[in-house]
Structure 1
Amino acid sequence: MKRVALALLLPIFSICAVIPNIAQASKAEQHAKAFGHLPMFQYAQVSPNGEHIAAVFNAPDGPQIVVSKFGSQELTAILKLKKAQDRIDSLIWANDDRVIVSASYSKSAYGDRFRVSRLFSVSKSGKELQELKPKEVRSDRITRGALYSERVIAILKDDPNHVLVQGFDERDEAVAVYKANVDTGDLDKTFINKYRVNAWVANTQGEVVLGVEIDELKPGLRHIWHRATESAEWKRIQSIQSFEDHSFEPVFVDGNSLYVLSPHEHGRKALWVYNIASGKFDSLVYAHEKYDVADVIVEPGSSNIIGVRYMDDYVRSVFFNETDNSVFQIVKNSFNGFETSITSLDTNRKKILVSAQTNVSPTKYFWLDLEKKAGGVWFSQYPYLEGKRLPATQKYSFTTSDGVELHGYITLPDGVEKGKAPLVVFPHGGPFGVRDYQYFDPYVQYMASLGYAVMQVNFRGSGGFGSSFENQGYRQWGKRMQQDVYEAIDYVAQQQLADTKNSCMVGASYGGYVALTASFQKPMDFKCIVSIAGIANLTELAEDDYKYKSLRAFISKTIGNPRDDKEKAEMDSLSAIYNLDKIKAPVLLIHGTYDTQVNFSQSDKFYDAAEDADIDIEYVKIKHGTHYFDDGDNRQLMFKELGEFLVEHLK
C-alpha cells in the first residue's frame, strides 16, 4: 500500500504528557505526539555582553529565532521562516545587537536535490532584517554554488559591524570571501579566488590566510594554500591524497602555526600544530588514548582554541588553561547526576548557558550567573517528557567472531520481565563518522515506550574510535559491518536481555540499508523491516555520487566503483532490490520527497518492484519531507507511522 502523505498540523502545545488514552487514539499515535516533536529549542547562544540569549524555537507553524533576556523565559520572536520549506542550521551573535542566521532549503537541480543556504542578519528587536548575499548573485538560480554553503568565516572582534563570509561567486567560478556589513547587508569582495579554493580560514586578526582546494581533475586530492599576510602571495603548502595520506583538517591559524585535526602518528584524530615554514608536524597539543578528538572549543568572541571535545558514551570537554577549566568545574559541580556541557557563554565567562541531560532525561538548558551566584532553568527541549519515567539506556560490549571489540547500548522497557520484551534492532545512519551514544534519544525512547527493547551497536566503520576502526568498514556494506549487527543480536540473545526471536529491524539512512539488507540476508529472523530514508539499491547510490568528480575517490574507497563491472555485480548482490525473491517479512518504507542525501527514488523504485513481487510492503511518501524530517508535522507523522507498523507486527 502506497500513501503520499502531507502531514496535518498537530497541536503539540496542547499535549501535556504521554497520555495512554487508547480509546481516542492508538498507543503509537499518542506516544508519537510526545516523543516525535522536534526539540523545542536548538542552537541557543549567549550574546557577547551576556545580556541576551538567542535560539531556534520550533513552533507548530515553523521555525523561529527568539530572543530572551539572560535569566528570563519571556521570549520575543525576531525571525520566522516558511513552514516545511526552510531549515535553520545555525545562529551566531555578530555583536551585542545583531544575530546572524544560517538557513537552507531543498531545491531540485541536475536530477538531484541540493540544500541551498542563505545568511541573514537581524537585530535582537526583530527589525532591520538583511540577507547577506552579493547583489550580483541574488537570483535563486541554481549554479555550482549550490554545492558550496554560504557560511560565516570570522566574527571581527575589532569591527563589530562586519563579519567575513564565504559564498560561491559566478565570476570567479569559485568560492569568494566577502566583508559583510551586518547592518546594511552590503558585501564587499575581498580578493579574487584564482586558486579554486573551496573553503577559507581566517586568523585571529580576521585576515583570510588559509584555503583548502578540492582538485577537480584528480579526485580525492586536496591542496592547502597559505599566505603570511593579506598583502602576500598565496603559496601551496601541502597536498593531501584522500585515503593515502593522513587526513588534515585545518581549524586555526596563528602566525606560522597551523592547528589541525589529524590522526598523524596516533591513528586517532588529535590536535596538532603544523609548522607552515617547515612543512612538518611540529607538536602534539592533545590526543586521547582511545577516542578521536571530535572538535575544538573556541574562546567566546575569538577564534582562539581553548580546549577540545571527545566522545566516549557522552561528550567530554578538556580545557587547556586553569581559568577555563575552573569555570567548567563549577558547571559540573552545579549539576550532579547530569551529563553537562557549556552550550554558550559571554566573553567575560560570567554568564553561562548549560545543557544538561541523562539517558533517562531529555536535554534542558540552565542559566548560571557567576557574578550574582544565581542560576535557574531556561527551557527543556522536550517539556512534555519532563518528570516522566523513562527506561535507562545501558551500555554493553562484546568481542566479535573475528576478535574485534564492539560497544553498544540497549534500552529495556519498564514493566516487562527481563528477556521477554520484543527486540527492535536500531542500527545508526552514516555510516562513516557517525556513532551512537548513551544520551537520551527520542527515537529509542519512543520505541521503548511501546514495550520494546531497543538495541544499538557501534559496528566497525562507526566514527569516533580511531581511523583504523572506521577504515575497517570501507567496502563492507552488507558484509562485515552487517555481520557486526547480527553478532550484536546474538550477544543480546546470549545475555537473555530481550526476545530476539520476536524482533524487527528499524533503520534510517544507512540504517535503512542495514534493515533492507537484513530482509533478504536473514529472511526468517525478523517479524518486520522498516527503512526510513533508506537505500535499497547500493549500486544506484554509488553511481549517483560517482558522477561528481570530487566524490569519486570517497565512493570508490568506501563503497565501490559502480563503473567497474565486477564491483557493480557485487554491489547488486548486496542490494535488496535485486534480492526480492528472498524477502519474507512485511516491509515499511518512509521517505521524504525533499531528501537531499538519499533520493526518494530509492524507495519509489523498490516499492514498485516489491509490489510486483507480491511482497507485503507499505510505503509512506511524505511531501516536503527532508532526510531528517526536520519539519515538525513531518517528524510526528513519521513517528506515528513507525509506531503503528511496529505495534501491528511486533507483538
Structure 2
Amino acid sequence: MKLITYLIVVMALMSAVTFAKNPPLTYKEFGHLPMLESPTVSPNGQLIASVFNSEDGPKVVLSEFASTEITTLVQLRKSEDRIEDIYWANNNRLLISASYSEKIVNRYFRMNRIFSVGIDGKEIRELKTKVVKELAPWEKRAMADIHLVSLLKDDKEHVLLQMYDVRDEAQVVYKVNVYDGKFTKLFANRYNVFNWVVNENDTVTFGYGAMKEDPEIRTIWHRNNEKDEWQLLHKQKAFEGETFIPIAVEGNKLIVLTDHKTRRTSLWEYDIVSGEYTKLIYGHEKYDVNNVIYNTGRDEIIGVTYFEHFRQDHYFSEKNNQLAKIVNNTFKGFYTNIYSKNKDDTKLLIFAAKDNSPSKFFWLDLANKKGGLWFSQFPYLENQPLANVIPINFDARDGVPLSGYLTMPIKNMATKPPLIIWPHGGPIGIRDYQYFDPYVQFFTNKGFAVLQVNYRGSGGFGSDFQTSGYHEWGQKMQEDLYDGIHWLQTKNLVDEDNSCFAGYSYGGYAALTAAFQQPDKYKCIISIAGVSDLLELAEKDYKWEGRIRAHIVNTIGDPTNDEIANTLKENSAIYHLNKIKAPILLLHGTHDTQVRLNQSKEFYEKAKSAGLKVKYVEFKHGTHYLDESENRLKAFGELDAFLSKHLLNK
C-alpha cells in the first residue's frame, strides 16, 4: 500500500532549514515540557484526544483527526494536578486518569482520580464511591490506587474500575456507568487481592494479591465464572523465584509477563489450575519484553514491545506486521511505532523518533492514502542542529559487560569538550535509551559531552543483570559509572579533568556519592531530587508494611540490621561532608512523591554549616520530575547558570 508523496514533502521541509541561519539556542528552548502527550484516536477515527502542557497547567484537548486545530476539553489545576492517561469509553465519552500529591504520615503519595467527560466538555463527573468514615493513613494510601480493569467491549455505557472499598478494606471491582456515575460492586474482596484481571468475556476471573498476615507472600486466586467461589491456588514470596505479572485471562489460561526459564521477561501462557507454564508466546534472546500491545478496545493482546536502543514492536498476526512495515517504510530515518489507531485500523497516529530530532506525531489515513505531520513534542527545537547519541559498550572492572551512550557536542571546539556524567534514575528497572532527550541535548548545546551508563541494576537486560544491582547503592553500581568514565578516558575524546557529575533521582544520589568518593575529580556536582541519606530513606519506607517495605529490604537493604545500616551510612553523602570539595547544586520539588524533600533540604543545611559551596533551589508544588511548565523552565535556568560558572568559567 503506497501513501501519497505529501509525507515525503513534509519530511523534506522539516530538514531543509539551514542551521547557520538559526539564532543561538538558549536553555529556554530546551526547558519546555513536551507540548502534546498521550494522544489517542477515537474508536470511529473522527477525533484525537491528547494532553496539552500549557503555561496554565495540563489540559485535555480535542482535535479532528489530522487537524492541528485543538480545543480545550478539560483544564486541571496549575501546578497541582497531573494527567496520567486518557481512554475512550465510547465515541462520545472519555475517561481521564489524573493525580495530585498528598502527604500521608512522612511522605507524599500520588492520589489518583478518574473523571468521565463528554466530547462537548459537558457533564464532567469524577467517578468515585462515598467514603463513610475517617480514613487511617494506610487507607488514604490505598484510596490512591484506582485503575481501569476493562472498557467492556459489549457495553459502552459502563466500564470496570478497581478502587479501594472501606468495608472490605481491599481493592474491589465496580461496574461504573460513565454517564451517571452509578457504582455497582461486583463481589466482596475477602482475599486481599490488589490486582484483578478479566477474561475474554470481560468477567473478573483472576486475582493477584498478598497474605494479610505476611504481605510479602503473594497469592493467586481464580474462579471459572462469576457464579463460582474464589479459590486460592498458589503462593509465592515476593522477590524470590520467578517474576510474575498477570496481564490477561483466556479461559483457564493466564497470559503473564515472567522471567520463567530464560531469566528475561517474556510473554508466557500459564495454566491457572495446575500452576504450570504451558507455552512461551514471545521472548527476545537479549532484551526483556517491556509490555504488551493491545487492540483498540484493550480486550485483545496483539503484540509485545521491547527496547534495543529504541522501542521495537513484535506483532502476532501477519496483518499487524504488514501494517507496521508500511509505517516503517513511510518514515525512513525514524524509529516508528503505531501509537494509537481507530477500531478498523484505517486511521493511525504514528510516534516517530530519532536521537537528534524531537519526537513527533504523524497521522495516516490508510483508506484515503493520505498522511502528514501532526505535532512535534518540542517545536522550539525543530530544524535545529542537535547532536547524535552514540551507543557504547565496555566491560566493568569485574568483567561484566556494560552499555550506554556518548553524546558529543556538534560545535567546533579547539579543545576537547568538558564532560557531564549523567546516570539515569530508578535505579532498579530503569535504563537509558538512544531517544532524543532535552536534558542531554541542552548539555551538548552548551558544548559539553554527555556520558550515560546502563549500570548493573538497570532494566531491560534480563533479571540477572537487574538483580545484580540489589544492595549495591554506592558500591558496584557506582563503580560501573567510574568504569565508564575510565573507558572514555582511553578514547581521548573529552576533557575528563573538566567534568561535572550530575543526575536525577538515583542519578542525583550517584552524583552526591561521587562527590565524597572521588572528591578531586569533578569541578561540580548536580543533584536533582537526589538521595543524600540512604539510611533515612530505608528507615522511613520500612515503616510502610507490605510492598514498600519489601522493595526497600530487597533492593536497598534492611535498616533494622545493624551491619546493613552501617553500610547504608557509609554510602551516603550526608555522613561524609568533610570529604566533599566540589560546589554543589541541589534542585528539589516540595511535593516529590518518590524522594522526600528532606533528602536535599537537610543535606543543604548540614553542608552549608560545614562550609561547603552549595546552592539549594526548592520548587513549589514541584513533583519528582518537575513536570510543571514554570518549574521545568526554572530548573533549566539554574542548570544553565551553574554549569556556565563551573565548567565554562563564565
The bucket for the TM-score relative to the shorter chain is over 0.9
Q: 1:425 pairs with 421, 430, 435, which one? A: 421
CA contact (8 A) 1:51 1:70 kept: yes
Matched position secondary structure for 1:549:
coil
TM superposition shift of 1:136: 3.8
Compared CA separation, residues 563 and 416, structure 1 to 2 (3 A): farther
Aligned counterparts of 1:302 and 1:594: Cα–Cα separation in 2 = 33
Partner of 1:443: 439
Aligned counterparts of 1:167 and 1:220: Cα–Cα separation in 2 = 21
CA contact (8 A) 1:307 1:318 kept: yes
- Aligned partner of 2:320: which letter? D
Matched position secondary structure for 2:630:
helix
- Aligned partner of 1:487: which letter? D
Structure 1 residue 144 and structure 2 residue 156: aligned? no
CA deviations 1:563-605 (Å, max 9, x no partner) are 1111111110100000000000001110111001100011111
Partner of 1:11: none
Structure 1 residue 569 and structure 2 residue 575: aligned? no
Partner of 1:48: 43
Unaligned runs of 5+ in 2: 1-16
Q: 1:357 pairs with 353, 377, 387, which one? A: 353
Partner of 1:9: none
CA deviations 1:336-378 (Å, max 9, x no partner) are 1101011001111111000102101111110101100101111
Aligned counterparts of 2:565 and 2:164: Cα–Cα separation in 1 = 35
Structure 1 residue 649 and structure 2 residue 646: aligned? yes
TM superposition shift of 1:257: 0.7
Aligned counterparts of 1:524 and 1:143: Cα–Cα separation in 2 = 45
Q: Mapping of 1:476-491 within 5 angstroms?
A: 476-491=472-487
CA deviations 1:497-556 (Å, max 9, x no partner) are 211111001111000000000000000000000000000000011112111121233212
TM superposition shift of 1:434: 0.1
Unaligned runs of 5+ in 1: 1-15
- Aligned partner of 2:642: which letter? F
CA contact (8 A) 2:87 2:96 kept: yes
Q: 2:617 pairs with 615, 620, 625, which one? A: 620
Partner of 2:79: 84
- Aligned partner of 1:469: which letter? F
Matched position secondary structure for 1:135:
coil
Aligned counterparts of 2:334 and 2:44: Cα–Cα separation in 1 = 28
Aligned counterparts of 1:19 and 1:636: Cα–Cα separation in 2 = 26
- Aligned partner of 1:594: which letter? H
Partner of 2:217: 221
Aligned counterparts of 1:142 and 1:43: Cα–Cα separation in 2 = 32
Matched position secondary structure for 1:205:
coil
Q: Which deviates the most, 171-180 or 289-298?
A: 171-180
Aligned counterparts of 1:244 and 1:410: Cα–Cα separation in 2 = 36
Aligned counterparts of 1:423 and 1:136: Cα–Cα separation in 2 = 54
TM superposition shift of 1:211: 1.2
CA deviations 1:423-467 (Å, max 9, x no partner) are 000000000010000000011011111111111010000000000
Q: Mapping of 1:205-216 within 5 angstroms?
A: 205-216=201-212
Structure 1 residue 461 and structure 2 residue 457: aligned? yes
TM superposition shift of 1:416: 3.6
Q: 2:526 pairs with 508, 525, 530, which one? A: 530
CA contact (8 A) 1:219 1:552 kept: no
Q: Mapping of 1:538-577 within 5 angstroms?
A: 538-550=534-546, 551-577=548-574
TM-score for both structures, normalised by structure 1: 0.94
Q: Mapping of 1:244-283 within 5 angstroms?
A: 244-283=240-279
Partner of 1:118: 113
CA contact (8 A) 1:418 1:496 kept: no
Structure 1 residue 134 and structure 2 residue 129: aligned? yes
Structure 1 residue 71 and structure 2 residue 69: aligned? no
Q: 2:363 pairs with 359, 362, 367, which one? A: 367
Aligned counterparts of 1:200 and 1:18: Cα–Cα separation in 2 = 53
TM superposition shift of 1:169: 1.2
Compared CA separation, residues 19 and 94, structure 1 to 2 (3 A): farther
Compared CA separation, residues 65 and 141, structure 1 to 2 (3 A): farther
Aligned counterparts of 1:18 and 1:225: Cα–Cα separation in 2 = 60
CA contact (8 A) 1:17 1:34 kept: no
Aligned counterparts of 2:137 and 2:21: Cα–Cα separation in 1 = 48
Compared CA separation, residues 46 and 572, structure 1 to 2 (3 A): same
- Aligned partner of 1:78: which letter? L
- Aligned partner of 1:467: which letter? S
Partner of 1:5: none
Aligned counterparts of 2:212 and 2:243: Cα–Cα separation in 1 = 18
CA contact (8 A) 2:595 2:624 kept: yes
Structure 1 residue 161 and structure 2 residue 157: aligned? yes
- Aligned partner of 1:601: which letter? N
- Count of residue pairs the alignment pairs up: 630
Partner of 2:7: none
Aligned counterparts of 1:338 and 1:601: Cα–Cα separation in 2 = 42
- Aligned partner of 2:32: which letter? H
CA contact (8 A) 1:418 1:497 kept: no
CA deviations 1:41-82 (Å, max 9, x no partner) are 011000111111100001110100001111111111110100
Partner of 1:500: 496
Aligned counterparts of 1:562 and 1:302: Cα–Cα separation in 2 = 42
Matched position secondary structure for 1:114:
strand
TM superposition shift of 1:212: 1.4
Matched position secondary structure for 1:638:
helix
Matched position secondary structure for 1:372:
coil
CA contact (8 A) 1:210 1:224 kept: yes
TM superposition shift of 1:155: 0.4
Structure 1 residue 37 and structure 2 residue 32: aligned? yes
CA deviations 1:273-329 (Å, max 9, x no partner) are 001122100010001000000000111114211110000100000001101111111
- Aligned partner of 2:274: which letter? S
TM superposition shift of 1:19: 12
Partner of 2:10: none
Aligned counterparts of 2:557 and 2:408: Cα–Cα separation in 1 = 38
Partner of 2:341: 345
Structure 1 residue 109 and structure 2 residue 90: aligned? no
Matched position secondary structure for 2:26:
helix
TM superposition shift of 1:639: 1.1
CA contact (8 A) 1:94 1:163 kept: yes
Using the aligned pairs only, state the percent identity. Answer: 47
Q: Which deviates the most, 63-72 or 184-193?
A: 184-193
Aligned counterparts of 2:157 and 2:118: Cα–Cα separation in 1 = 12
TM superposition shift of 1:237: 2.0
Compared CA separation, residues 158 and 556, structure 1 to 2 (3 A): same
CA contact (8 A) 2:153 2:299 kept: no
Aligned counterparts of 2:363 and 2:628: Cα–Cα separation in 1 = 28
TM superposition shift of 1:414: 1.1
CA contact (8 A) 1:204 1:302 kept: no
Partner of 1:473: 469
Compared CA separation, residues 124 and 19, structure 1 to 2 (3 A): farther
TM superposition shift of 1:32: 2.3
- Aligned partner of 1:144: which letter? E
TM superposition shift of 1:116: 0.7
Structure with bigger RCO (C-alpha 8 Å, 6+ apart): 1
- Aligned partner of 1:465: which letter? F
Compared CA separation, residues 476 and 244, structure 1 to 2 (3 A): same
Structure 1 residue 513 and structure 2 residue 509: aligned? yes
Q: 1:204 pairs with 200, 213, 229, which one? A: 200
CA contact (8 A) 2:86 2:94 kept: yes
